[in-house]
C-alpha cells in the first residue's frame, strides 16, 4: 500500500497563570475531510504515537484528543474505504487555537501491515516501537473464531491447535510463553501458554486493531518475549472524551460449525467522563471437514466488559471490569486418552485500573507517569465422560506496574522506565501443581534518531520465585523445593534509510524466561492432550539470543520487505515425547519437561504491488527451521551419530498469493495458499503432507442518511474442499482441518 505523510504544527493555548510549575497539556482537535469532495469523514480511527491516546471522528468528521504534553508526535488515521495516513504533529506552548484540517484520499485501503519506524513510541494502545498493525478491511475480512485464526494470514504466523476453539498463534516457530498476548497492553493471564487444549481468553471480535511488535518494545511486558508481543486493541478505558456517542454492532455466521455470533460496544461522553460497555456471544456446533463432522468440537462463549474514565488536564484515571464464560469440546482419540472426548468449561473475571499523570515541568526527568493495577481470576475444568471433572485449573493473578515517560536525556529523544510486580496462585488438580509465584522487574527503553536513522535500546531485569505448597521428595520428580530465578534481558533496534525508497535495519534481543510451575512440578495425567506430564524441579532458566536483519523498499505502487532471523537458546524448555507409556495410565504417552540447547532460524519476505488503480497483488513467504542439540549420553542411548535433531512442532514453509480488486464501495480478493510438507521431524513426531488452499472474500460498505456506516463481508474458505492437516495440531493424525465453508459478517458503525 502507499502511505502519505506530512507535518502539521499545532499551536496550543497552554498558559495558565498560577500553575507554571505544572506540565501544561495541549489538545489536538480538528476535522477529517475527503481530499476530493471536501466533505467531512466520520468513523475515522486515530491514534497518537508515543502516548496512550485514541479517538474516533464523529459523523461530522470532528475529533479531539486531550492531555498531550508539548512535543512531536505521529498521528495515524484509519478508515474503511480510504488510504491510511500517517502525519507528524507538533504540540507547542503558545496561545493559538488552530484546528487541523486533515485530508484523506478516497481509495480502498489495503489494510496491509505498516511498519512505522520514525518518531514512534507509545501508540494508542501502549505498544512502543515498530509494529505490524492489522486494521480495517483486513481485520474484518480475516476475523475468525479465535485470535490465532484471525492472524493466520500474516507472514510468519502459524496456529497451534487442538480442535476449533483452543487455537494459539505461533510466530516464526516461537509460541507459548515466548510470544506474549495482550489486550490494551494488559497480559491475558490465562493458561493458553501452558497446553494446547487451553483457549486464549482474548476474543478478537470488537477490536479496533491488532498489533504485532518485536524488539525493545516487548521488554515492557516481559523478558521472555523473543517471539514478540501481540496486542489486541479495544480501548476499554478511554483516554480522551469523545465528541459524541459512538459504537458498533455486528453479527457473524459460519457454515463450517453452523455458528452464530454477535455483539456490540458503545462509548458515551458525560462532561469530563467517558463510559464504555460491550457484550459478545457465540454458539457453535460440531465442525465440518471433508471427511465429515468432527465430533465434540462444539463451543459457546459469552463475555461482557464495562469501562469508566475520568479525564482532567492532569491526566486521567479509569477502571475496566471483564467477565467471560466459555465452553468447548476436545475431539476424542479412539486409541489413547479419552475415546469419547473431553468437555472444557472456562471462566475469567478481571478488574483493572489505569491512571496517567502529567508531571511537573523541569522538576523531574519524567513528564508523564502511567500506573496499572489488575486482578485476574481464571478457572478451567476438564470434564471427562460420565460428567466428572478430570483436571481443574485455578489461576489467580495480581499485577501492578508504574511506567514513566522520560524527557530528552543525553542524545535520546524520549523513552520509558518502569517497574512491575506480580503474584500468582496456580493450582492444577491431578497433576500435583500447587504453587505461588512472586516476581518483579525493572526496565528502561530509550529511543533517538532523525529522518534517516532510528536507534532504540532497552534492558530489563527480572526476579521470579516459585514456591510449591509442599516441599519434599517425590518418587517421580525427586527433590521438590522452592526456586528463585534472576536474569536480565535486553534489545537493540537500528534502522537506516540510505535512500528515499530503501531502508535497512536489524533487531537483536537477549531473552530470559524462568520455568513455569507446570514445567517444574507437574506429575500427572492430562487426558485432554493425550499425555502424562512430568516436570523437572531442577530445570534452569531459559536464555536466548534473537537476531533479525531486514531490508525494505517502498514506492507509491510497490512495497517489499525481506527478513532473515536466527534465534539460539542455551536451555530451550519444552515437553518432550519420550515414546513411553505412563505406568498409571498406559493408554497415554509420557511427556517429560526438559531443556536443551536449540536454534530456530529462517527467512520471511512480502511484496505488495498496485497493478492498476483497481487491482493489486500481494505475495508472501515464510521458511522456519528448528533444531535441538543432542547430548553425548542421548546419542549413545539412541545410537545416533548426528549432533542435532529437529525440534517438534515447527511450522512448515508457506507461500501465499493474493489478488485484490477494489472499486468504490466494493472490494474482493482471491487468496491462494501453498503449505509445504513437513518432513523435518522430532522423535515420535509424524509428518504432514503439502497442501493447497483457495479462499475468496467480498466486502461491501455503504452509509445511510443518518451517516451510519454499514459493512458486509463474505468469505469463502477452502473452496476446493481440500482434506489437509495442520502440522501444529495435536489431532492431525485423526482429523483434518475444516472443509469448504462460508462466513458472513455484518457490522454497523454509529
In the predicted model, what is the mean pLDDT of the chain? 88
The mean per-residue pLDDT over the stretch 554-577 comes to 94
Q: Are residues 85 and 157 located together in one domain of the fold?
A: no
Dump pLDDT digits (tens) for 337-390. 677 889 999 999 999 999 999 887 667 889 889 999 999 999 999 998 888 898
Give 200's DSSP letter. Answer: P
Q: Are residues 85 and 171 located together in one domain of the fold?
A: no
Dump pLDDT digits (tens) for 424-452. 999 998 778 999 999 999 999 999 998 89
**Strand partners of residue 94:** 13
Q: Is the pLDDT of residue 220 over 60?
A: yes
Could you give the 3-state DSSP secondary structure of residue 637? Answer: helix
Burial label for 551, CB within 10 Å (0-12, 13-18, 19+), is middle
What gap in Å lies between CA 238 and CA 352, rounded to an integer?
13
From the CB of residue 36, how many other CB atoms can be counted at a distance below 10 Å?
10
What gap in Å lies between CA 443 and CA 525, rounded to an integer?
39
Q: Are residues 581 and 692 located together in one domain of the fold?
A: yes
Taking alpha carbons only, the member of 407, 256, 241, 245 closest to residue 310 is: 241
What pLDDT band is residue 24 in, cutting at 50, 70 and 90? low
Identify the pLDDT of residue 336. 66
The answer to whether the beta carbons of residues 66 and 311 sit under 8 Å apart is yes
Q: Is the pLDDT of residue 126 over 90?
A: no
Higher pLDDT, 70 or 275: 275
Identify the pLDDT of residue 121. 32
**Strand partners of residue 412:** 409
Dump pLDDT digits (tens) for 378-408. 999 999 888 889 899 999 999 999 999 998 8
The mean per-residue pLDDT over the stretch 215-228 comes to 92
Q: Are residues 87 and 212 located together in one domain of the fold?
A: no
Domain range for 446: 131-237+247-329+340-749
Dump pLDDT digits (tens) for 575-617. 999 888 877 777 788 999 999 999 999 999 999 999 998 999 9
Identify the pLDDT of residue 136. 77
Host H or E run for residue 481: none
Q: Are residues 91 and 136 located together in one domain of the fold?
A: no
Dump pLDDT digits (tens) for 127-149. 334 468 888 778 888 888 899 99
What is the percentage of the chain residues whose pLDDT exceeds 90? 61
At 92, which CATH number? 2.60.40.1120
Identify the pLDDT of residue 20. 40
Q: Where are the beta strands (DSSP E) in 431-581?
A: 433-449, 453-468, 472-474, 478-480, 483-499, 502-513, 523-526, 531-534, 542-554, 558-581
Q: Are residues 40 and 151 located together in one domain of the fold?
A: no
Q: What is the DSSP string of 4-29?
A: B--EEEEEEE---TT-TTB---EEEE
Identify the pLDDT of residue 137. 78
The mean per-residue pLDDT over the stretch 549-574 comes to 95
**124 falls within a domain:** no
What gap in Å lies between CA 319 and CA 305, rounded to an integer?
11
At 141, which CATH number? 2.40.170.20
Q: Are residues 181 and 76 located together in one domain of the fold?
A: no
**378 falls within a domain:** yes
Q: Are residues 356 and 271 located together in one domain of the fold?
A: yes
Whole-number CA gyration radius for the chain = 25
Q: Is the pLDDT of residue 259 over 80?
A: yes
Burial 422-460 (b: 16+ CB within 10 A, else e): bebbbbbbbbbbbbbbebebebbbbbbbeeeebbbbbbb
**584 falls within a domain:** yes
Q: Is the pLDDT of residue 109 over 50?
A: no
The whole model's pTM is what? 0.88
**2 falls within a domain:** no
**729 falls within a domain:** yes
Q: Are strands 7-13 and 85-94 parallel, antiparallel or unpaired?
A: parallel
* Number of domains forming the structure of the chain: 2
The mean per-residue pLDDT over the stretch 85-97 comes to 72
Q: Are residues 515 and 434 located together in one domain of the fold?
A: yes
Dump pLDDT digits (tens) for 269-321. 999 999 999 999 999 999 999 999 999 999 999 999 999 999 988 889 999 99
Dump pLDDT digits (tens) for 684-733. 999 999 999 999 999 999 988 767 899 999 999 999 999 999 999 988 99
Q: Are residues 487 and 589 located together in one domain of the fold?
A: yes
Give the lowest-confidence range in 14-23, 53-62, 286-295: 14-23
**437 falls within a domain:** yes
From the CB of residue 135, how many other CB atoms can be counted at a distance below 10 Å?
25
Give 448's DSSP letter. Answer: E
The mean per-residue pLDDT over the stretch 99-117 comes to 59
Q: Are residues 671 and 710 located together in one domain of the fold?
A: yes
The 3-state DSSP composition of the chain as helix, strand, coil percent (nearest 5) reads 5, 60, 35
Q: Are residues 76 and 187 located together in one domain of the fold?
A: no
Most confident of 141-155, 236-250, 509-523: 509-523
Q: Is the pLDDT of residue 13 over 60?
A: no
Identify the pLDDT of residue 94. 55
Identify the pLDDT of residue 361. 64
Identify the pLDDT of residue 93. 61
**480 falls within a domain:** yes
**118 falls within a domain:** no
Amino acid at each position: 500500500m502507499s502511505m502519505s505523510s506530512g507535518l502539521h504544527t499545532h499551536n496550543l493555548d497552554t498558559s495558565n497563570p498560577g500553575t507554571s510549575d505544572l506540565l501544561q497539556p495541549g489538545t489536538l482537535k480538528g476535522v477529517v475531510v475527503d481530499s476530493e469532495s471536501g466533505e467531512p469523514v466520520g468513523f475515522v480511527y486515530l491514534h497518537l504515537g508515543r502516548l496512550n491516546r485514541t479517538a474516533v471522528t464523529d459523523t461530522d468528521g470532528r475529533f479531539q484528543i486531550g492531555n498531550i504534553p508539548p512535543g512531536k508526535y505521529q498521528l495515524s488515521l484509519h478508515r474503511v474505504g480510504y488510504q491510511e495516513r500517517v502525519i507528524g504533529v507538533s504540540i507547542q506552548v503558545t496561545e493559538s487555537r488552530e484546528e487541523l484540517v486533515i485530508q484523506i484520499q478516497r481509495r480502498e485501503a489495503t489494510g496491509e501491515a505498516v511498519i512505522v519506524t520514525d518518531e514512534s513510541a507509545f501508540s494508542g494502545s501502549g505498544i512502543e516501537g515498530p509494529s505490524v498493525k492489522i486494521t480495517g478491511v483486513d481485520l474484518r475480512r480475516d476475523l475468525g473464531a479465535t485470535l490465532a485464526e484471525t492472524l493466520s494470514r500474516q507472514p510468519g504466523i502459524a496456529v497451534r491447535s487442538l480442535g476449533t476453539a483452543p487455537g494459539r498463534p505461533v510466530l516464526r516457530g516461537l509460541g507459548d510463553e515466548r510470544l506474549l498476548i495482550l489486550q490494551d497492553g494488559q497480559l491475558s493471564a490465562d493458561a493458553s501458554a501452558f497446553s494446547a487444549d487451553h483457549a486464549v481468553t482474548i476474543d478478537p471480535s470488537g477490536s479496533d486493531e491488532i498489533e504485532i511488535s518485536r524488539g525493545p518494545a516487548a521488554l515492557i511486558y516481559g523478558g521472555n518475549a523473543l517471539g514478540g508481543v501481540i496486542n489486541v486493541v479495544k480501548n476499554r478505558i478511554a483516554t480522551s472524551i469523545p465528541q459524541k456517542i459512538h459504537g458498533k454492532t455486528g453479527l457473524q455466521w459460519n457454515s463450517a460449525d453452523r455458528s452464530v455470533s454477535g455483539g456490540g460496544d458503545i462509548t458515551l461522553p458525560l462532561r469530563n467522563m467517558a463510559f464504555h460497555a460491550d457484550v459478545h456471544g457465540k454458539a457453535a456446533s460440531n465442525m465440518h471437514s471433508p471427511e465429515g463432522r468432527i465430533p465434540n468440537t462444539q463451543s459457546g462463549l459469552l463475555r461482557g466488559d464495562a469501562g469508566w474514565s475520568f479525564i482532567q488536564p492532569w491526566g486521567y484515571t479509569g477502571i475496566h471490569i471483564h467477565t467471560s464464560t466459555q465452553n468447548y469440546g476436545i475431539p476424542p482419540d479412539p486409541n489413547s486418552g479419552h475415546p469419547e472426548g473431553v468437555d472444557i468449561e472456562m471462566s475469567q473475571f478481571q478488574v483493572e485500573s489505569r491512571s496517567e499523570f502529567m508531571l511537573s515541568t523541569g522538576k523531574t526527568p519524567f513528564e508523564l507517569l502511567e500506573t496499572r493495577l489488575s486482578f485476574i481470576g481464571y478457572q478451567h475444568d476438564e470434564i471427562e465422560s460420565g460428567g466428572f471433572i478430570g483436571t481443574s485449573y485455578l489461576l489467580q493473578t495480581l499485577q501492578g506496574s508504574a511506567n514513566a515517560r522520560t524527557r530528552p536525556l543525553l542524545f535520546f529523544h524520549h523513552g520509558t522506565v518502569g517497574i512491575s510486580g506480580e503474584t500468582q496462585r496456580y493450582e492444577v488438580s491431578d497433576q500435583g501443581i500447587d504453587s505461588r509465584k512472586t516476581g518483579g522487574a525493572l526496565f528502561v527503553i530509550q529511543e533517538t534518531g532523525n529522518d534517516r536513522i532510528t536507534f532504540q535500546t532497552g534492558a530489563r531485569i527480572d526476579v521470579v520465585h516459585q514456591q510449591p505448597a509442599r516441599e519434599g521428595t517425590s518418587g517421580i520428580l525427586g527433590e521438590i523445593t522452592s526456586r528463585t530465578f534472576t536474569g536480565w534481558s535486553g534489545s537493540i533496534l537500528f534502522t537506516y534509510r540510505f535512500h528515499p525508497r530503501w531502508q535497512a535495519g536489524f533487531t537483536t534481543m537477549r531473552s530470559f524466561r524462568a520455568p513455569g510451575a507446570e514445567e517444574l512440578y507437574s506429575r500427572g495425567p492430562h487426558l485432554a492432550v493425550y499425555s502424562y506430564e512430568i516436570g523437572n524441579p531442577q530445570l534452569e532458566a531459559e536464555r536466548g539470543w534473537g537476531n533479525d536483519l531486514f531490508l525494505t523498499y517502498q514506492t507509491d505502487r510497490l512495497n517489499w520487505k525481506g527478513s532473515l532471523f536466527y534465534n539460539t537458546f542455551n536451555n530451550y524448555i519444552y515437553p518432550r515425547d519420550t515414546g513411553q507409556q505412563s505406568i498409571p495410565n498406559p493408554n497415554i504417552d509420557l511427556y517429560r519437561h526438559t531443556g536443551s540447547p536449540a536454534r530456530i532460524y529462517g527467512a520471511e519476505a512480502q511484496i505488495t504491488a498496485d497493478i492498476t488503480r483497481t487491482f493489486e497483488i500481494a505475495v508472501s513467504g515464510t521458511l522456519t527451521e528448528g533444531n535441538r542439540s543432542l547430548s553425548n549420553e542421548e546419542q549413545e542411548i539412541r545410537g545416533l551419530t548426528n549432533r542435532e535433531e529437529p525440534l517438534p512442532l515447527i511450522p512448515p514453509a508457506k507461500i501465499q498469493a493474493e489478488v485484490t480488486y477494489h472499486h468504490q464501495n466494493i472490494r474482493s480478493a482471491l487468496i491462494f495458499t501453498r503449505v509445504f510438507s513437513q518432513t523435518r521431524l522430532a522423535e515420535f513426531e509424524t509428518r504432514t503432507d503439502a497442501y493447497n488452499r483457495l479462499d475468496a472474500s467480498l466486502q461491501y460498505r455503504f452509509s445511510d442518511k443518518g451517516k451510519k456506516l454499514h459493512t458486509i463481508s463474505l468469505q469463502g474458505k477452502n473452496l476446493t474442499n481440500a482434506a489437509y492437516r495442520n502440522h501444529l495440531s495435536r489431532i492431525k493424525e485423526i482429523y483434518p482441518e475444516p472443509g469448504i465453508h462460508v462466513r458472513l459478517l455484518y457490522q454497523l458503525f454509529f
